[in-house]
Amino acid sequence: MRVSAWPSSPAKLSAAQRALASAMPPLWRPTVGARVGGCFVCFERGETGPGRAGDRGWAAAAVDGDLSVVGGAAGAPYEAGLLALREGPLLAAAVRALAVSPEVLLVNATGRDHPRRAGLALHLGSVLDLPTVGLTHRTLLAAGEWPPDEPGARAPLFLGGELVGYWLRTKRGRRPLAVHAAWRTDPETAADVVLAANGRARTPEPLRNARRAARTARADVWFPHVADSSNRGT
């Protein structure tokens, strides 16, 4: 089962998430040199609160030197567990605007670590028909001890007794990343993809490039000709 459109209300999204969580698409397995893409969205800085419907947003996607940036409006206020309503269409548009399609996509969102086991990273993969991996700084509901302070070390993340991802250490002395199984990926594959795409920084290059592009597009609107350097070294 996969979906081709985004739900228009919290109730419809919740129903879609439950259906996606029970789907059993064939697992994707990486090959040597697989194209790993990344996508990221950011929104205008609001006066108060986490975000409202209609906030201006900028989404970017990156893969193998190809980059796309699209602008639009947030489809809903921010609400944990319902992120697809706010960000999904913008992220999908950015990925579809790439000249070259990635073989697997890193998404700044959770996958199986979700109240209905189908976070935005998983939902986006279904809409795009692309294997996806979620990558966040913190978990949503899952819990687990951090791994040893060694590059490549991983420690399991569990939710209700189910393995849904890993804490993954990409750099010595830096906080580990939460890596989430998502669309057509299991926890082991998700962690392997992140390590394969990792460069000099803590965040893998495809996601880091997309993040920089989205934030730069926002900065060009708010502060023309001033580059955004807030993500350097992370």
- Output the CATH code of domain 10-22+35-222: 3.30.2170.10
pLDDT, tens digit (0-9, with 9 covering 90-100), for 67-104: 999 999 999 999 999 999 999 999 999 999 999 999 99
CA distance 171 to 143: 21
Average pLDDT over residues 111-131: 98
pLDDT in tens, 20-42: 999 999 999 999 889 999 999 99
Write the pLDDT tens digit of every residue in 141-189.
Answer: 999 999 999 999 999 999 999 999 999 999 999 999 999 999 999 999 9
- Residue 138 CB contacts under 8 Å (≥ 6 apart), including other chains: 178
Burial 196-217 (b: 16+ CB within 10 A, else e): ebbeeebbbbbbbbbbbbbbbb
**What is the pLDDT at residue 199?**
83
Q: Where are the domains of the chain?
A: 10-22+35-222
Note the pLDDT of residue 2: 57
The Cα–Cα gap between 196 and 178 comes to 16
Q: pTM of the predicted model, to two decimals? A: 0.91
Cβ 50 vs Cβ 76: under 8 Å: no
What pLDDT score does 221 carry?
A: 80
**116: burial class by Cβ within 10 Å (0-12, 13-18, 19+)?**
middle
pLDDT higher at 137 or 224: 137
| Residues 6+ positions from 187 with CB-CB distance below 8 Å | 156, 157, 163, 164, 165, 166, 179, 181
How confident is the model over 10-23, as pLDDT tens digits? Answer: 999 999 999 999 99
Query: CA-to-CA distance for 173 and 110, rounded, in angstroms?
Result: 24
- Distances from the Cα of 36 to the Cαs of 13, 164, 190, in angstroms? 27, 21, 11
pLDDT tens-digit readout, 51-62: 899 999 999 999
> How many helices (DSSP H) and strands (DSSP E) are in the chain?
5, 8
